[in-house]
Amino acid sequence: MSATASQSQWQETVRDHIREDASFRYAHLLMNALAATIASYGLFANSPAVVIGAMLVAMLMGPIVGVSLALVDSDAKILLKSLLSLLSGVAGVLVTAFIIGIVHKDMPVTSEIMARTAPNFLDLMIALAGGAAGAYATVSFRSSLALVGVAIATALVPPLSSASILLARGEASLALGALELVLVNLVAIQFSASVVLWLTGFRRITRTSGQPITKFLRQNLLSMAILVGFGVLFSINTRLVIAKQLFEARTRFALQQEISSSSGSHLVGVRFEKVSGKTIVRAVVRGPNPPSATQVAAMEDQLPSPPDGTTVALRVRFVHLMIIDRDGQMNSDLKFGDDE
């Protein structure tokens, strides 16, 4: 058998596997519903390990690769089948997680849920790499086990579950952020999978068109436009997040330096809040004696400027701390700012 015939047979075998994985089956609905159940309770439990388990159970990667193959091969039939399977899987996850969110409305919103409401440029890069790895694992039988690892990188169930849980609580704006992450993951995985399939020779129609690259780009124009738009948006968001984190870190350091210089006083915590065009810095301080208004104003003047251009207002919540040894109360005669 010639090398060309062997490659053609290999491609047809891979196509059959992709078609089978992308086709709608009730098993997909069941597995995705179970994945949503695991993910939802993992999110409530704030357990990354349980959330990872939900990623491994979900069956969404097959339909996404099916969409990629359909675009590369210009096969409308596979495209419709893959989209049906994908949309039904997504709907199953959303409905299951929404029901769980309604049943457990009393449970707090955890950091695992909140972490999926603000997508950034890093999420986009992870999805692109994960989609490429998933497509390569699909076309390479020797790498088929890598799909287990790819499921972690290209997870869609946790943000879908987060969105439904938040919608069940009426948090529409936060849910929209989680759905934004889902859309970015879907498009990024599909596009990178299409690129890998095209590069490995899966271009049945475009190979004879005379302009395979042009046709490929035209078929994936919508995906590329979405990715470029989100890439720009996420790059801006990432810069803003980094600037905000630097401001908060510098603020904490400045307060820590100032308060720790006062004998017996300690900075317990700092919170940041935006109110009426101001950045309110709320500091909790424990010590033998509170700072004066003049000292609070002096500390406020030492704080860095917020990256959004708002003014800083320092609010100190003082908690009296009494330390007693065998000789009596310590530091009771010292004012705030005094050193021993």
Burial class of residue 298 (count of CB atoms within 10 Å of its CB; 0-12, 13-18, 19+): middle
What is the identity of the amino acid at 124? L
The whole-number pLDDT of residue 203 equals 65
Confidence band (pLDDT; 50, 70, 90) for 211? very low
Residue pointed to by tokens 């989680």: 178
The whole-number pLDDT of residue 154 equals 53
Query: Is there a contact between 90 and 59 (Cβ–Cβ < 8 Å)?
Result: no
Query: Is there a contact between 263 and 340 (Cβ–Cβ < 8 Å)?
Result: yes
How far apart, in whole angstroms, are the C-alpha atoms of residue 126 and residue 185? 9
Confidence band (pLDDT; 50, 70, 90) for 19? confident
Q: Which domains does the chain have, with CATH numbers?
A: 3-219 (1.20.1080), 245-329 (3.30.300)
3 state SS of 12: helix
Q: Among candidates 64, 25, 56, 23, which has minimal Cα distance to 158?
A: 56
Rounded mean pLDDT, 2-16: 69
Q: Among candidates 152, 150, 124, 123, which has minimal Cα distance to 138?
A: 150
Handedness of CA 30, 33, 37, 43 (dihedral sign): positive
Q: Look at the chain and count its residues.
A: 340
Residue that wins the pLDDT comparison between 252 and 138? 252
The whole-number pLDDT of residue 206 equals 43
**pLDDT > 50? residue 209:** no
